[in-house]
Copies of this chain bind each other. A is one copy, B any other.
Amino acid sequence: MKAKAVFYHAGCPVCVAAEDKVASAIDTSKYDVEIVHLGNDKSRIADAESAGVQSVPALLLDGVPFHINFGASLADVKGGA
Contact = CB atoms under 8 A, between A and B. Distances in A.
Contacts of A27: 25-29
Interface string A46-69: 000000000000010110101111
A21 B66 CA distance: 9
Nearest to A18: B66
Residue from A21, A25, A27 having most chain B Cβ neighbours under 10 A = A25
Contacts of A22: 59, 61, 66
A30 B26 CA distance: 9
B26 A64 contact: no
Contacts of A35: none
Contact of A61 (B21, B28, B31, B64): B21
